[in-house]
Structure 1
Amino acid sequence: MTADPVSPLPRSVHREAPPAVTAMVRLIRGSWVKAESYLPEVTQFFYGMLFTLAPATRDFFPINMDVQRNRMVRALVQVVQMVDQPDDLLPYLRHLGRDHRKFGVEPKHYEAIGTALLAAMRTQLGRDWTPDVERAWAEAFTIIARQMQEAAAADDNPPNWSAAVAEHRRVSWDLAMVRLEPERPIPFRAGQYLSVEVPQRPRLWRYLSPANAPREDGSLEFHVRAVDGGWVSRAIVSHTQAGDVWRFGPPLGRLTVDRENGRGVLMIAGGTGLAPLQSLLDELAQWGENPKVHLFYGGRTREDLYALDGLRMMASCNPWLTVHPVVERGNGLSGFEQGTLADVVTRHGAWPGHDVLVSGSPAMIRATVSRMLVAGTALDQVKYDPFTID
């Protein structure tokens, strides 16, 4: 597991799980509460066992394991605890299974990962690791592994692609735009994202969304902001050079616009979470007639809205698009709404008759979607992708 899913929304917005699954998850969550305080010990035992059972898996991880150490175990546990939330979990697992083909993951590796995780938990929990607890963890991990393997087996695409950096431009001290030209076109759709490995940080894969729709020349443009503690994002912003070769995993994601269903579209973008929505706008701009689109584009300050001028220019040429800039701090800014995206969007109501696309940090997605559901937006109106960026 190389990325964390967005934390689940409140239970009330999900379909009720069968009682047996609910009981299984209750055992898993209860045992993890006891084990979480021993996370360093769980993690150390997990990797030691995994590399013993399947030495080839060491090549899946960066040389400096300190960067990765707790990430995989936390992601594994969070996924295991979401077994009773199929609306969130199943798309995530299918995406993850396809994406892990880039490592050369085989069925035997899933078995080794599951064995190592259960052994690490058993070692730390001692007498609290009862037969019922072990069965719950084993059944949950079996469900997870099966979904991932089935998705991987059904994917006919290459496991990865390569692309060379053609242009790297610093927009600000912490933001860069990078344009790449792939060896062969990557068959992504507007709104999707890709896992990326850069030469400055080998084996540290991260997820990035192209900010453009597919082009005839196959080129891709990414907007990357350096985040605190972000090894990959900081390397991209500060050290990327023309000619660098990046590797990409398969396209993933479920953000789309249906031009034929007669519904309006509400897009909500926080910071560089704009990229997949800008990709969709880029695609829509190829058509003369489109659904009415309202884009709420937010950040802490005016400076965070790096693409606002270009979006306003697009809106001036496309009457179907309305751009609403939002800042959390900026009293007196003409033409801006003030507050968090969750605050501002819900001031406009529940948005009935609209498809809602949300993109940004996990915290922003969670807060915005939760507030919209409370305001009366229906869950089946809302789409978001369940991965962090760095």
Structure 2
Amino acid sequence: MNLRAIAQVRSNFRSVTETTNGSDRLTNSFYGFLFGENPILRQLFPAAMDMQRERLVAAISYLLDILDDTERAVGFLEQLGRDHRKYGVEGDHYPLAGRALHSALRAYTGPAFWTNSIDEAWLDVIDLIVTSMANGADSDDLPSHWEATVVEHRKILDDLAVVRLQADVPVPYDTGQYLPVRTPQRPRMWRYLSPAIPANDYGELEFHVRKVSGGWVSPSMVNETQVGDRWTMAAPLGGLRVDLTSGADVLMIGSGTGIAPLRAQIMEMTTRGINPRVHLFVGGRFPCDLYDLGTLWQISLSNPWLTVVPISEFDTDPWWHTGPTIEPPFGMHQRLTGEIGSIVASFGSWSDRQIQVAGSPTMISSTVRALLDAGTPASRIQHDPV
């Protein structure tokens, strides 16, 4: 696609989704067209569609952000196609969804603003989506899912648990990716978790799970998981990775359990003889949220290429926290206080680094914005879809 067409679809999508209730109205229209013309497809989706609607808008937004990098966009869409196999979606379903998306965008934009050039640009984007996702679904010869047994469940904080599992066979993810996960407590709902250890030949997995207030799945993962539970994992997604061939040093920015994919990559790097320098900024709202500082500090002691800097938004723990205060070990950088993106950006643009950002959608958005404002080239910044 040419740059003018890309600019048109980006502008049109923003005009649709950034109005009051625009995202909800667009997704309602999309699913209305899809299920109205193809009622049998409704059975492939969960009963509660709120999360599904949010993910649809997030996926399209992310695709439009990277649309000028065709290889990256196609790779993302092929991953999505493989991921949707867990729902029973097949390659020939994608043209049906493509027509529904086109109809929804055209209907919501309105005839006064839906020009021929916008129509042609969206048809090109939708063709890319349909073709790439169908190719991803049809060309994948791996299983649609893997089973694993919980071998340890340990609560680190009242709202955070470390869950270790033993897979029946190794799950073929790349370190830095994330996995769709389903638990017996919520058998029809999938959530996305990043393994906190590198992929290995023994089928060992470790997830760091934070309870989301009002969430459907994470509270049961933190509070109800038992040793012996059987979890299901589907095809891996995401592409956070350190390019060891570029020669560039690395900046990693992680908040809360978002440190998991960064931690896993650092652990994998320790098995190599030569590595680039890595600055890892670890953040949380309160000092107690820096739950893995001890592990990261121990790794840095024997790997001088790694520097770990802790940051918390507040200087003290909340009144309801009953555990010990987590302070940086002796010899480690002292904890900084403030918003993680602003603090990292205050050190400069980091324009010579490979940059990875991982955390909540709000944290990723604010951190990326702070980096861009500081002069960081967007092409240097990696993050998973928010």
Please give the range of the TM-score, normalised by the shorter of the 2 chains.
Answer: 0.7 to 0.9
1:127 to 1:283, Cα distance in 2 relative to 1, 3 A: closer
Q: Report the secondary structure of 2:311's partner residue.
A: strand
**Alignment-mate amino acid for residue 160 of structure 1:** H
**Alignment-mate amino acid for residue 323 of structure 1:** V
CA distance in 1, matches of 2:24, 2:175: 40
CA distance in 1, matches of 2:177, 2:81: 16
Identify the residue that residue 238 of structure 1 maps to in structure 2: 223
Q: Report the secondary structure of 1:203's partner residue.
A: strand
Asked whether the 8 Å contact 2:63–2:73 carries over to 1, the reply is no
Identify the residue that residue 196 of structure 1 maps to in structure 2: 181
1:182 to 1:76, Cα distance in 2 relative to 1, 3 A: closer
CA shift for structure 1 position 247: 1.6
**Alignment-mate amino acid for residue 57 of structure 1:** L
Please tell me whether residue 162 in structure 1 is matched to residue 156 in structure 2.
Answer: no
Which stretch of the first structure deviates more once superposed, 106-115 or 298-307? 106-115
Which stretch of the first structure deviates more once superposed, 53-62 or 337-346? 53-62
Identify the residue that residue 371 of structure 2 maps to in structure 1: 372
Asked whether the 8 Å contact 1:223–1:272 carries over to 2, the reply is yes
Gap runs ≥5 in structure 1: 1-15
Identify the residue that residue 57 of structure 2 maps to in structure 1: 74
Please tell me whether residue 182 in structure 1 is matched to residue 181 in structure 2.
Answer: no
Identify the residue that residue 89 of structure 2 maps to in structure 1: 105
CA shift for structure 1 position 370: 2.7
CA shift for structure 1 position 270: 1.0
CA shift for structure 1 position 352: 4.5
CA shift for structure 1 position 379: 3.1
CA distance in 2, matches of 1:40, 1:289: 49
1:264 to 1:80, Cα distance in 2 relative to 1, 3 A: closer
1:189 to 1:361, Cα distance in 2 relative to 1, 3 A: same
CA shift for structure 1 position 137: 4.7
Asked whether the 8 Å contact 2:91–2:137 carries over to 1, the reply is no
Q: Report the secondary structure of 1:351's partner residue.
A: coil
**Alignment-mate amino acid for residue 250 of structure 1:** A
Asked whether the 8 Å contact 1:342–1:368 carries over to 2, the reply is yes
Deviations 1:9-61 (A, max 9, x none): xxxxxxx9532443455455545667x64766665564454335434433332
Identify the residue that residue 331 of structure 2 maps to in structure 1: none
Q: Which has the higher contact order (CA 8 A, sep 6+)?
A: 1
**TM value normalised by structure 1:** 0.82
Asked whether the 8 Å contact 2:154–2:162 carries over to 1, the reply is yes
Identify the residue that residue 276 of structure 1 maps to in structure 2: 261
Q: Report the secondary structure of 1:358's partner residue.
A: strand
CA shift for structure 1 position 324: 0.3
CA distance in 2, matches of 1:131, 1:379: 30
Deviations 1:46-78 (A, max 9, x none): 44543354344333322344x446435534764
Deviations 1:312-346 (A, max 9, x none): 12222222221100111117977111221212212
CA distance in 1, matches of 2:109, 2:357: 39
Structure 2 residue corresponding to 1:54, chosen from 32, 38, 60:
38
Gap runs ≥5 in structure 2: 318-326, 329-333
CA shift for structure 1 position 278: 0.6
Deviations 1:67-98 (A, max 9, x none): 44643553476468658554775443232122
* Aligned CA-pair RMSD: 3.2
Which stretch of the first structure deviates more once superposed, 75-84 or 203-212? 75-84
Asked whether the 8 Å contact 1:80–1:141 carries over to 2, the reply is no
Q: Report the secondary structure of 1:367's partner residue.
A: helix
**TM value normalised by structure 2:** 0.83
Please tell me whether residue 328 in structure 1 is matched to residue 327 in structure 2.
Answer: no
Please tell me whether residue 215 in structure 1 is matched to residue 205 in structure 2.
Answer: no
1:221 to 1:73, Cα distance in 2 relative to 1, 3 A: closer
CA distance in 2, matches of 1:44, 1:372: 34
**Alignment-mate amino acid for residue 202 of structure 1:** P
CA shift for structure 1 position 234: 1.5
Asked whether the 8 Å contact 2:17–2:23 carries over to 1, the reply is no
CA shift for structure 1 position 198: 1.7
Q: Report the secondary structure of 2:187's partner residue.
A: coil
Identify the residue that residue 349 of structure 1 maps to in structure 2: 348
Percent identity between matched residues is 41
Identify the residue that residue 98 of structure 2 maps to in structure 1: 114
CA distance in 2, matches of 1:27, 1:263: 36
Asked whether the 8 Å contact 1:315–1:322 carries over to 2, the reply is yes
Deviations 1:142-182 (A, max 9, x none): 23212222233343322221112111111111001111111
Identify the residue that residue 3 of structure 1 maps to in structure 2: none
CA distance in 2, matches of 1:121, 1:258: 38
Q: Report the secondary structure of 1:115's partner residue.
A: helix
Structure 2 residue corresponding to 1:142, chosen from 98, 121, 127:
127
Q: Report the secondary structure of 1:179's partner residue.
A: strand
CA distance in 2, matches of 1:288, 1:76: 37
CA distance in 2, matches of 1:192, 1:119: 33
Deviations 1:328-378 (A, max 9, x none): 111797711122121221222223542222111222222222322332333
Which stretch of the first structure deviates more once superposed, 36-45 or 250-259? 36-45
Q: Report the secondary structure of 1:275's partner residue.
A: helix
Asked whether the 8 Å contact 2:26–2:105 carries over to 1, the reply is yes
Please tell me whether residue 22 in structure 1 is matched to residue 7 in structure 2.
Answer: yes
Identify the residue that residue 235 of structure 2 maps to in structure 1: 250
Asked whether the 8 Å contact 2:148–2:232 carries over to 1, the reply is yes
